[in-house]
Amino acid sequence: MPPELAHAAEFGRVLLVGAGPGSADLLTLRAARAIEGADALLYDALTCAEVLDLAPARCLRIQTGKRAGKASMRQETINRLMLRLARRGLTVVRLKGGDPSVFGRVGEEQAFLAAHGIPVEIVPGVTAASAAAAQFGFPLTHRGEARRLLISTAIVADGHLLEDGWAAGADAETTLALYMGRDQAGAVAQRLMAHGRSAATPAIAVENAGQRCARAIPTTLSNLARDLDAAVPTGPVVLIIGEVTAQADIAAATLSAEMRRPLTVST
C-alpha cells in the first residue's frame, strides 16, 4: 500500500448528521445509528437530552453552542476539533439541528475535512419547515394554491436583514419558510408587502417545531410581527407565509404530541 494511503487509513471519519427539529422520534434511522456508533459527538446547544442519550457511555460529548444570539464556538474551532479527533482514528458525529444541508454550514465543513483527507458522510434530517407543517396539519405545497416552496433565511451573517430576493417570496403561489427571522418579522412583512404580497396572506410562526413543546401562532402577514411579539417566544422560530397555513390545525398537534412514544436505544 502506498504510504499516503496507509496514512489515510489510520484516520477516523466524520459524519455530518441532521438531528431533525429536536425530538428523538424524528431522527432518521441512519442518524440514530450514527449517534449510537459515535466515538465523539459534537452537538449544537439545542440538541435535546433524549437524542444525546443515544450515544454510547464511552462517547466524548462536546457542546459547540450554535444558538442564535448566544455565544458559541467559532466555526474555525469546530473544524479544527473535528479534524483533530478524526486524526486520532475516532468516528466523529457532528450533530446539527434540522437538516445539515439547510443553513447548517455543511458545505464549509465538508470542504475543510476533505482538504485534509478526512472521509465525510452527510446524513440528512427533518428540517424545521417540514416538521412544523406536519405537526400542525398543513401542507407546504398544495394543488391550485402553492406551486413552490421557498426556504430562505431572513438575515445575513452580521444579523442584518437581507436586501435582495424578496420578490421571489412575494408570489401568491409561493409558500415562504423563513429561518432565523424571529427578530426581523416586521421588516420581513414590510418587504414582502412592498413587493406585492397581500397583507391578508395567512401566516404562521412555529416555535420549537417538531418538539412536544411546540407552539403555533397563526396570523396574517400584516399582523405577523405584532402577534409574534405578543407571544414572547424564547425558542427557535420558523416563519411560514402562504395560503396553505390557513389549513393549520392547532388541536391536532396537541393530540399528536400526546400519542408519541420516546425513542429507546437499541441493544
Would you call 66 a catalytic residue per the annotation?
yes
Would you call 96 a catalytic residue per the annotation?
no
Please state, in angstroms and rounded to a whole number, the distance separating the CA atoms of residues 24 and 20. 8
Would you call 193 a catalytic residue per the annotation?
no
- Per-residue cell: 180: 432565523
Name beta bridge partners: 18. 96
DSSP code of 235?
S
H-helix segments, 56-143: 75-87, 106-115, 128-135
- Per-residue cell: 220: 396574517
Question: Which one of 25, 39, 44, 171 is the catalytic residue?
Answer: 44
Phi, psi (deg, nearest 5) at residue 31 = -65, -45
Maximum alpha-carbon separation in the chain: 67
Question: How many CB atoms neighbour CB 23 within 10 A?
Answer: 24
Question: Which one of 1, 70, 180, 259 is the catalytic residue?
Answer: 180
The CA-CA-CA angle for residues 21, 23, 27, to 5°, reads 75
**Residue 46: partners with Cβ closer than 8 Å, 6 or more residues away:** 22, 66, 67, 97, 235, 236
Question: Which one of 25, 53, 66, 227 is the catalytic residue?
Answer: 66
Reduce the DSSP state of residue 164 to 3 states and report it.
Answer: coil
Which residues are annotated as catalytic?
Answer: 44, 66, 180
